[in-house]
Structure 1
């Protein structure tokens, strides 16, 4: 018999369902105190003790054991599918829902809930996922067990989905959760490292992000998961680009494009568009604005995306291609956008394009709203571009005090970026 730790919980569950006291169940088999230790997972009993306890409860232990093992294998399969960005079919979804409430013991109910939360996150049902995570956190042991490992992976993905990047990094730094994942499979470990790298990049901790993505690369071996491999290429390229290592970044992007061209199952408009957008930003970072324009346009041709459009607008302005920028404004009016940094960039670039409309009051109005938002959201790269630009506009109007304030804002952003890069 496979003496899993959770047989004690299963015995306790069925004993309580039948209204039996520990003395009633234990008599002639073991002491009540020993049964208590079994049920609370303090000890692992001999196989014969488990067999007799299950027989007294009227449970076909072999069948019960087989069912638990089968359900656990299916839960693991569902979890890996969700980690691999695959969907669950209707039958799988119905099984997942039923396993959370049927007469399985607490361990598998908890595991089913964790997989269900990961499913909710795949659908962007963030509020329901958050409520479920809060309810089950108290049952997590924070040991090197499977439920803790699933909770770490699922809660990390929730933090990513809600853009709580610093929370992910602080939790890992304080609790060293990666250590608890060392006994899981390498793909799951690589996935966690990838998410740490993503969070570190968004938090401008680029050197830390590179460490995490290199760990993910090392863990992800002997797996045929081309979509995840593509994500690794893209993320490493984005991080290297942020560190100013443009040649190395482009090699990662080229490897991703090569993978895309050879693996039909991942050849989607979204993947081509995302990779092309990253390549475009790499060119923009190097000051090659014309090639950046070309690649942003290709990205948007693959899949229209408003983030790409805003990037394309900015690259067009930087390339002094005001004709293209005007066409983009006509094609994408402001009411098409909803995200703050998209809306503010649209407004800033529109103002930048129409110099004849500049007044001190109008420049200050948009600058005040946009720059405060960029500061709050920690968009250092946007401050570094738009603040000096606005300073030149103020100088054209001989408004040297607000121009000086813009330069100071840019300097502070530069210093903050430099400090983050040094860590």
Structure 2
């Protein structure tokens, strides 16, 4: 779709961005009904009328700039990933926006659609929502290429902001369908496959997650894009762990760790270490799990949130092998971090775990039982977090068994067994 065909959409977009009414723009140039037809692509106006409308909008049509603007846009689109430098992404955005403000270019629609992704990457979620609402008015004029990114980025929005993975999957599948009808790079399609794989993983569709992660990995390997390969290996590792193919999971996590180290990518290194620790916890190989979790804790560059996750994992492991000194040290560090973070909802799980072991270490058994029965386990049940229910119901049951409270012990062993059954059924 060239600029002569979609110029009406571009004019509408520029008008709404400037908070100008149709009446403001049309006055003395065309009738309101004729402007409406131009904006909705129901007629093709003369070059003179288009020029007059653009002049009022304070922009010009300069096709000689198109290739240069496209080149800059393409470079910027390739930067829109969380792993890239945010300041560079913002600087490039501002440079392109200045060009867009002065020129009516056929690259404008694609640039505006990519703003959804841009706002998500820099964490401006309100602006992402506002941009979706703004573009929704002209989405009926999008061609298949526009629709591909429109569906993909709206899927990203639903995942990041609304945590609505089913709606994201519906949008990603529509993007996949459009992807078959357009000419985009293999790497772009591989990114969509990876995104679908991640979403399947979040929805616990394990076999589908493996299928899409493998498809993406095949392309990223051909392109020697080792960072994206590492991300695929993480998804494969999680999926294989869920279906208890532990050797395959370990292989994929170690590949991700190796590639993360090659690229000096701290995020991937820590993610691989955390997942290896989690896997060895699952297989009850406590010493190996401790080694990987401790590597995260020893990393001074790790985000405090990573440390909290690791502490929550480590305290139980140290306690289970009878290393109460390290349990105490780890709990103390966790309490210090919790004090810094405050009582945020997103850290509630870590709070319960750290406080539970704090009570056990201090032999505050009544407080421990109260926390578990009236706080921690009900919170996990509300979230249907069966993995943690299984772990902590069993911890409570073994505590009751130790003090010969067999009726209570039996009750919570049953809760743990029920949780394990739900995990198996996922």
Task: Indicate the larger mover: 289-298 or 230-239.
Answer: 230-239
Shift, 1:144, TM fit: 5.9
- Counterpart of 2:375 (choices 369, 388, 408) is 369
Per the normalisation by structure 2, the TM-score is 0.78
Shift, 1:387, TM fit: 1.1
Whole-Å separation in 1 of the counterparts to 2:166 and 2:404: 44
Whole-Å separation in 1 of the counterparts to 2:54 and 2:283: 73
Q: Contact 1:159–1:167 at 8 Å: present in 2 too?
A: no
Q: Contact 2:190–2:220 at 8 Å: present in 1 too?
A: yes
Partner of 1:94: 94
1:201-244 deviations in Å (ceiling 9; x for gaps): 23333233222212322443532433222211222222212221
Task: Indicate the larger mover: 274-283 or 143-152.
Answer: 143-152
Partner of 2:288: 291
3-state secondary structure, aligned to 1:86: coil
Partner of 2:397: 391
Give structure 1 stretches of 5+ with no counterpart.
24-31
Alignment of 1:11-26 (within 5 A): 19-21=28-30
- Counterpart of 1:346 (choices 354, 358, 381) is 354
Whole-Å separation in 2 of the counterparts to 1:180 and 1:281: 38
Whole-Å separation in 1 of the counterparts to 2:63 and 2:418: 62
Change (3 A) 1:169 1:314: farther
Whole-Å separation in 2 of the counterparts to 1:408 and 1:353: 25
Whole-Å separation in 2 of the counterparts to 1:419 and 1:8: 53
Q: Contact 2:51–2:61 at 8 Å: present in 1 too?
A: no
Change (3 A) 1:156 1:232: same
Whole-Å separation in 1 of the counterparts to 2:92 and 2:408: 60
Shift, 1:3, TM fit: 7.2
Partner of 1:119: 118
Partner of 1:308: 310
Partner of 2:331: 329
Whole-Å separation in 1 of the counterparts to 2:212 and 2:408: 41
Alignment of 1:103-252 (within 5 A): 104=104, 108-141=107-140, 145-162=144-161, 164-168=163-167, 171-172=170-171, 176-182=174-180, 183=182, 184-220=184-220, 222-252=222-252
Change (3 A) 1:362 1:101: same
Shift, 1:248, TM fit: 0.9
Change (3 A) 1:204 1:74: same
Change (3 A) 1:138 1:390: farther
Change (3 A) 1:127 1:393: farther
1:152-179 deviations in Å (ceiling 9; x for gaps): 3323333333361533455258x64321
Task: Indicate the larger mover: 331-340 or 50-59.
Answer: 50-59
Partner of 1:83: 81
Shift, 1:110, TM fit: 4.2
- Counterpart of 2:365 (choices 348, 358, 362) is 358
Whole-Å separation in 2 of the counterparts to 1:218 and 1:70: 32
Q: Contact 2:210–2:236 at 8 Å: present in 1 too?
A: yes
Q: Contact 1:99–1:109 at 8 Å: present in 2 too?
A: no
Q: Does 1:382 align with 2:388?
A: yes
Change (3 A) 1:176 1:17: same
Whole-Å separation in 1 of the counterparts to 2:168 and 2:40: 34
Q: Contact 1:165–1:202 at 8 Å: present in 2 too?
A: no
The alignment of Structure 1 onto Structure 2 pairs a total of residues equal to 399
Q: Does 1:320 align with 2:322?
A: yes
Whole-Å separation in 1 of the counterparts to 2:64 and 2:407: 76
Partner of 1:28: none
Task: Indicate the larger mover: 230-239 or 2-11.
Answer: 2-11
Whole-Å separation in 1 of the counterparts to 2:5 and 2:264: 44
Partner of 1:29: none
Whole-Å separation in 2 of the counterparts to 1:142 and 1:415: 50
Partner of 1:26: none
Q: Contact 1:101–1:109 at 8 Å: present in 2 too?
A: no
3-state secondary structure, aligned to 2:222: coil
Structure possessing the higher relative contact order (Cα contacts under 8 Å, 6 or more residues apart): 1
